[in-house]
Structure formats: structure tokens, C-alpha cells
Amino acid sequence: MILDDFIVIDKTGLYCRYGDFYLDPKEPSNYAVISHAHGDHAIGGHNNVICTEATALFMKHRYRKNAGNHFNILNYRQEYNLNGVKIIFIPAGHILGSVMVLLEYEDTRYLYTGDYKLQPDATCEAIEFTHANVLITETTFADPATIHPTAEEEILKLNSTESNIMLGAYALGKCQRLIHLISQFCPQKRILVHFSMIPFVKIYEQMGIDVGKYVVYDRKVMKNNSSNLIYMVPPMVFNSYFKAINVVRVFATGWKHLQSGNAMQLYISDHADWNDILYTIDQVKPSQVWTNHGNGLALKSHYEKNLVVKLLN
């Protein structure tokens, strides 16, 4: 039997009242099940953190002593019981170590996706699917008008210029995926990576991921070379260098509003688009879909006659 109050939202976030824990809480909590290490899902200060090894490494780098008091590391498909709720991690394909969280309670299965993507990505575990009675899905791009192009098509755009490129990217996940894509599809380009992104790259390598060829940014190299350099920087640096000269400004994202004003549009997203979400629902075969982390109105309308869709936010 599906329990409507199995997951509820309070000021801290998604709370499983039957297991007395939170999923990706927004405030420090006693027990936090973390789907992945992006800052809008993984904050510091929890008493007990349940996550993958990669997620723990990313959190410990970012939050240092405030990362969490106790880390419980789970492998994919490993079963963990917390106050009568069975927790199983399923690969989500979003970034390295990202998971969908399968919760089993009294013969009912609830699958919380966290963030996920279906596009192939050599720098993280590929998404897997499992049946659940309830799918709790992110809806970041749950809009029928949003269809992501393939990353392989988009990255080839960088070959259209020999000018040096300032490439804005998120430091965790996007950075490593881009290094790998550029190394494979733009082999004539030389990648310089901002120093703040390097620790995350090193954790990927520590976890056995070959991200590709790159070097740490060197101002002299950038100054003395006028072509085929890509300087990869985090968003804050990209935005602060808006007056940078002699570079082509590019920002890798699925958000259209973040592409405006740049010399080139690079639509590379690490989230599921509309068709991916529909495909995921088809694979999971839930009786109900609960939406989170975005706007679920389009899904509710799409499945109005065929499936129960509940908006959690």
C-alpha cells in the first residue's frame, strides 16, 4: 500500500517519517541520505551521512571538518536498513557517485531520483532502472519544449574557432565530463583548468576515472598562445571576467537563459530532459509519480488520465 505521507516536505526538506531521515536535506539533520555531492543536495553539518564513497570524498573536500560527523558508505545495490526502511542505491548517471535512492517499506517501493541523466557519460556510472510503486522524480527540465541535444554534437562546436576559449562550467561533474569530451572530440585543443576545479578532478582520478588531458591554468601559457586554448573556469570566475578580451566566451549548460550574451551556445546538460523523464517513468512503471526540484505541472497534465502525479513542491 502506498503511504501518502511516506515522504513529506518540511523546512529541512524531504523527510521520511517512517525511517526518521531526510533525503538531500537543506539544513543539518540527524540522518541525511545524500543522492550526490552538488551543493543544492549535499550540505555540511549532518550528524550521520549515508552516501557513496565518491560523494563522501567530494563533501569532505568542500566542507572540511563540517562535512559530517559520521559517514556510512554504501555501494550500489547494497541494502541498508534504517529504522525499518530498507535503503538501496541505484546509479543515477548524473555525476560520479550519484544515486537514485530506492526505499522499501512494507512491500512498497519508493524511488527517489535525486538528479539524473540518461545521456552517456564516460566519467560517471551509467543510470540503471528498477521497478517502484512510487517514482519521486526531479523535474528540472520537465517541459515538452526542452529536448537536450547530444553532448557529442554540441562539443564539436568548439572546433569552429581557433581562437582561445573561456569555458564556464560547474566544478563538479560538468568540468570532468567536458575535459573528457574535449579530449576525445577536439584533440587539437589544449585544456587549462582553473585551480579551484583541480581537487574535484583529482578525486575523479582517485576513483579510477580517466577524465582526459588537461593542465592547471598558467597565465604565461594563456598569454603567449593565441589559438586553440580552452581555459575552463567555474561560474563565479566566468561571470567576473565578463570583460575578458581576445577570448570566445562559452558557458556549458542546459539553461537557455544562461547562454545569452555568449559568443557561442553550448547546450550540455547533466539532467534528464522531457523525453528522458517520460522514458524513466516508462521503465520504472510506477503507480504514482511525485515531482520535486522543479515544476511538475506539465507532467501532471500529460498523465492526467493515465497516472497519479502529485506535486511535492
Please tell me the predicted confidence (pLDDT) of residue 127.
Answer: 98
Print the domain residue range for 120: 7-145+271-311
Rounded Cα–Cα distance for residues 106 and 230 (Å)? 53
- State the maximum Cα–Cα separation within the chain, in Å, rounded to a whole number: 67
Give tens-digit pLDDT for 252-305: 999 999 998 899 999 999 999 999 999 999 999 999 999 999 999 999 999 998
The mean pLDDT value for 110-137 works out to: 98
**Residue 168 φ then ψ, to 5°:** -80, 135
Q: Indicate the average pLDDT of the chain.
A: 96
- Sheet harboring 190-193: ordered strands across? 215-216, 190-193, 229-233, 165-168, 248-252, 264-266
pLDDT of residue 244: 73
Residue 218: the pLDDT is 83
178 and 34 assigned to the same domain: no
Q: Which of 303, 6, 30, 270 is nearest to 136 (CA)?
A: 6
For 215, half-sphere exposure in the C-beta direction (CA atoms, 13 angstrom radius) is 10
Average pLDDT rounded to a whole number, residues 108-130: 98
More confident residue, 38 or 221: 38
- Provide the number of structural domains found in the chain: 2
Pairing of strands 248-252, 264-266: parallel
Rounded to whole angstroms, the Cα distance separating 94 from 167 reads 20
pTM (two decimals) = 0.96
Banded model confidence at residue 32, pLDDT cuts 50, 70, 90: very high
Would you state the pLDDT for residue 219?
76
Question: What mean pLDDT is predicted for residues 53-70?
Answer: 98
Looking at the structure, do residues 126 and 173 belong to the same domain, yes or no? no
Residue 229 resides in a domain: yes
- Once rounded to an integer, what is the mean pLDDT over residues 189-210? 97
The Cα 289–Cα 134 span in angstroms is 6
User: For residue 33, what is the domain's CATH number?
Assistant: 3.60.15.10
Tell the burial category of 79 from Cβ atoms under 10 Å away from its Cβ (0-12, 13-18, 19+): exposed
* Domain stops at, among 266, 282, 297: 266
Do residues 231 and 282 share a domain?
A: no
Burial 129-160, CB ≥16 within 10 A → b, else e: beebbbbbbbbbbbbeebebeebeebbeebee
- Amino acid 249: pLDDT: 95
**Same domain flag for 259 and 307:** no
Q: Hey, what's the cell of 186?
A: 577536439
Sign (positive or negative) of CA dihedral 25, 98, 158, 167:
positive
Do 12 and 135 fall within a single domain? yes
Which pLDDT band holds residue 313 (cuts at 50, 70, 90)?
Answer: confident
